[in-house]
Structure 1
Amino acid sequence: MDKDKLKIIFFGTPEFSVKILEAMDKNGFTLVAVVTTPDKPKGRKLVLTPSPVKLWAQEHNVRFLQPTLIKDLRIKIQDLRIKPDLFVVASFGKILPKEILEIPKYGTLNVHPSLLPKLRGPSPIQTAILNGEKETGVTIMLMNEKMDEGPILAQQELRIKIQDLGFKKLEEELAKLGGKLLIETIPKWIDGKITPQPQDHNQATYSKLIKKSDGEINWNEPAEKIYNKICAFTPWPSAYYFENGKRVIITKTKLDKDGKLKILRVKPEGRNEMDFIDYK
């Protein structure tokens, strides 16, 4: 396989996607375009903000597409006047129909941050933390039109260390692992050295779309479960409770050896983040 001649279009949106992009770029893969979601209003002033993938594309002079409707994507790809060899998807955030997935010669590969068929769906990293999983991993699969049900090309496990527990840390580790596994898998797939393995659908588990309200803490739950929620939902949607009608976000905590939860830092509504000892 000649990496320089392989024409790849990448689909992704958040920071996880950027790590995969960087791995491909550093290892000589030719990215002819990236597809990402439209700019979204953010903050109190609702300023239109580009996705991390769009920012990466602009910095690296790579063409980018931001279709409002997925049904318009085929035409936008045709307008590039390029016949892509491969699509790579990593946390794009939109479901791609069969007619899009089958455009490239070698199909569409997906980098999914779990050991499929475990934790299919939109929030596998947060859910692994919420569930108190001891290990997770990355799967490279050949996508089909069903969500995370395509045959598996490669997998690699990652041990979840309690001292590293936290969404951002685990996301970074999985993105690094995913990029490495992807660049090892693509040449083998293109050269016909991998036989896709069907998933065992009977073993499937699922993650859900996370809502802001999911972050509210129930103090009747065990300390370890609360701790996992804080780790999984920091920085978004955040883990919080209400005191005197005002939201208090917990930004840093730890679980003692005896299983007691210790709150270290908080951000009370209308105030700056502070040490918990200074709160009240």
Structure 2
Amino acid sequence: MKPLWRQRPPSRYLLSFHGPPCYARWSSNNTRYPLRILFCGSDDFSITSLKALHKELVERPDTIASIDVVCRPGKRTGRGFKNVREVPIKAVAKDLAIPVHEIDTFTGWSPPLRDSAAINLIIAVSFGLFVPSRLLNAAEYGGLNVHPSLLPDLRGPAPLHHTLLAGRSKAGITLQTLHPTSFDHGIILAQTPYPGFDIPEPKTCTVQKLQSLVAPKAAEMLVQGLRDRVFIPPLTDVGWWSNARLRGRNPELKYAPKITPMDRHADWFSFTANEILRRQRVLGPLWNMATGPDSRKRVIMTLSRHPVIDNAPIRKVGLPFLWSSGSMERPFLLVRTKDLLLLRIAGMTVEGERNADAVEAATRANLLREAGGESVTFHEVLM
């Protein structure tokens, strides 16, 4: 079934007869207002947009008549899976007296009626589930999505992480339609002007700090888009990528896939010292596999910079070694990176053990051995 705005319009809509072919041209005075919104969200980023929409509902009921929230069910966690971790947006929606619907799939589910009228706009912000075309077609105005990047750059579920992992100094927001078959491929209805806004202190910025910067901007763009009725056809793509002049001087577009445990792997041969530390800042402590005399164990490390030591032994990249620059100084663990700089392994958690100072943790886990009488090294570190 075609979306409503692609079908031939019923007689209640105004038509334009300025030459063939004859298509619907929705009047700017369209009275099918206010909006009955189905909001699909999950985390703090989406919560900021939900609060902005609720404020709009309270202050401008002529714009928004109702909001329903859809979120994923809570997940059981902890020992024996006895505890339930609820999706953060659920508590916020209840505090705002907004109806909440917990679903793990849209199969067989339909939005509720509000005042005997159907939901007419679906908004998904940091949701995770794909909104099926069945629901988009049923909603009079289709669907909208807010994405924290300058699409089509950083298309994917983790744009904030990959913005920082790439060492970028600018970020952006995009308001787009929900595409019926693909994530982040909708028509761009509003967007931060290219090349984006500055990230304060990009060399020290964390995902949480970046999110606190972009979330209010995203909520503001969403609300302004509703006021401007950018979702009413004819829809115009206003994205920077549609501008050939800008597209021609843009660097390679990046994809922003979901962050996985492998992204936290300390790959000493692929990353420089700065890249390793940036990855730790963005993703948290990194890990490697260490092999002792009897077993292989995962080690989670906290890393910090260390100055170049002229008389430190030359160990191969990625093999941590124990070092002390003086007889009175307590030894510590160092490791060389791809660019042959040294990083200190300050803290370490060995699989099955508690977190401790790196030397203490490695000793307790029997990961150290004598090496030619000069120092002590790991038995082996597997990349």
* TM-score range normalised by the length of the shorter chain: 0.7 to 0.9
Q: CA shift at 1:63, angstroms?
A: 0.9
Q: 1:170 to 1:195 in 2, by over 3 A?
A: same
Q: What SS does the corresponding residue of 1:41 show, helix, strand or coil?
A: strand
- Computing the radius of gyration from Cα coordinates, the structure with the larger value is 2
Task: Note if 1:149 corresponds to 2:178.
Answer: no
Corresponding position of 1:240:
287
Matches of 1:191 and 1:162, distance apart in 2: 34
Q: CA shift at 1:118, angstroms?
A: 0.4
**Greater helix proportion:** 1
Task: Note if 1:229 corresponds to 2:279.
Answer: yes
CA contact (8 A) 2:206 2:282 kept: yes
Q: Cα RMSD between the aligned structures?
A: 3.4
Q: 1:246 to 1:68 in 2, by over 3 A?
A: closer
Matches of 1:249 and 1:100, distance apart in 2: 46
Identity over the aligned pairs, expressed in percent? 24
Matches of 1:111 and 1:177, distance apart in 2: 10
CA contact (8 A) 1:142 1:196 kept: no
Q: 1:86 to 1:254 in 2, by over 3 A?
A: farther
Q: 1:44 to 1:241 in 2, by over 3 A?
A: farther
CA contact (8 A) 1:17 1:91 kept: yes
Tell me the number of residue pairs that the alignment of Structure 1 and Structure 2 aligns. 270
CA contact (8 A) 1:86 1:108 kept: yes
Q: CA shift at 1:92, angstroms?
A: 0.6
Q: What SS does the corresponding residue of 1:92 show, helix, strand or coil?
A: coil
Q: Which runs of 5+ in 2 are unaligned?
A: 1-28, 58-63, 308-338, 363-383
Q: Which amino acid is the alignment partner of residue 282 of structure 2?
A: A
Q: Deviations over 1:80-103 (max 9, x none)?
A: 654123211101101112121233
Q: Which has the higher contact order (CA 8 A, sep 6+)?
A: 1
Matches of 1:155 and 1:180, distance apart in 2: 12
Q: CA shift at 1:32, angstroms?
A: 2.4
Q: Which amino acid is the alignment partner of residue 47 of structure 2?
A: V
CA contact (8 A) 1:153 1:194 kept: no
CA contact (8 A) 1:10 1:34 kept: yes
- Equivalence map 1:181-260=2 (5 Å): 181-189=221-229, 195-197=235-237, 200=241, 205-220=254-269, 221-234=271-284, 238-242=285-289, 245-250=297-302
Q: Deviations over 1:31-57 (max 9, x none)?
A: 421011121123344322210111211
CA contact (8 A) 2:39 2:68 kept: yes
Q: Which runs of 5+ in 1 are unaligned?
A: none
Q: Which amino acid is the alignment partner of residue 70 of structure 2?
A: V
Matches of 1:178 and 1:149, distance apart in 2: 18
CA contact (8 A) 1:254 1:264 kept: no
